[in-house]
Amino acid sequence: MVLTIARNAQFAAILMALVLVLQPAVGTLAPRSLGRRLDNMHHIARREDVDNQCFQTKLGPDTTGKYEELCGEKSDPHHHCFTHWGEKLDNVEARPWLEPFDVQKDFHIKDDNLQDFTVGENKNIPAFTITYRGGNGPQLIYSDYDKEKGCAKFTLRRGSQEGMRIWLSDDDDSDPRDIDTKHYGETSKVLCGKWYHIKVFKD
């Protein structure tokens, strides 16, 4: 009986010693591990915030005469020019689409109204995209410019803002809305002409 009590006391003493030895290690390792996990979660959250951000493009009127050269009365009929109906380029995100170019330099805007514009040089129009209403509204994608035929591919996307709509038409009066997102989330068409009209609005 006495031997059993002694053995139990010895076991309890060993167990207490192990607890005292391991406590600092457990106390330091657990917070470090938790801290690393929190740091990783914070890093991922910050990265997602950056990925989801939309950056407004500040565009101003042309001061070089380039707009008049490309869109005036004596301009090349195969160089495309654009005008907005009720919309402006004051709250958009404008970006290169396929190849990089300087948006500030290559977007030529007629005047302070920020409605009429063109892009690039004579018969050399880079692919670009314009996303309206703060960068998360309807979107225009311009690509595949053919300088010999004066044609290009126009893609319209409705965007994530509820009830928003975008349509585009050329100078041909046969169809006042050549491309329209009324029934489509995304729609594309090849058009040929000089002037294109863009309408962005809440349906």
Using one digit for the tens of pLDDT, what is the confidence trace for 67-113?
999 999 999 999 999 999 989 999 999 999 989 999 999 999 999 99
128 vs 95: CA distance, rounded Å: 6
The pLDDT value recorded for residue 84 is: 96
Confidence of residue 16 (pLDDT cuts 50, 70, 90): low
Residue-range domain boundaries for the chain: 1-53, 66-202
Decide if pLDDT at 179 tops 90. yes
- Which residues, 6 or more positions from 174, have their beta carbon under 8 angstroms from its beta carbon? none
Confidence of residue 13 (pLDDT cuts 50, 70, 90): low
The pLDDT value recorded for residue 41 is: 46
Chain centroid, CA 103 distance in Å: 14
201 vs 203: CA distance, rounded Å: 6
Q: State the burial class of residue 91 (Cβ atoms within 10 Å of its Cβ: 0-12, 13-18, 19+).
A: middle
- Check residues 174 and 121 and name the one with the higher pLDDT: 121
Confidence of residue 195 (pLDDT cuts 50, 70, 90): very high
Q: Classify 165 as helix, strand or coil.
A: strand
Mean local confidence (pLDDT), 10-33: 48
Decide if pLDDT at 15 tops 80. no
Decide if pLDDT at 183 tops 80. yes
Q: State the burial class of residue 51 (Cβ atoms within 10 Å of its Cβ: 0-12, 13-18, 19+).
A: exposed
pLDDT in tens, 103-123: 999 999 999 999 999 999 998
For the chain, percent of residues with pLDDT exceeding 90: 61
The pLDDT value recorded for residue 50 is: 35
Q: How many distinct helices (H) and strands (E) make up the chain?
A: 3, 11
The pLDDT value recorded for residue 86 is: 84
Q: Smallest Cα–Cα separation from 93: which of 52, 132, 142, 50? A: 132
The pLDDT value recorded for residue 3 is: 40
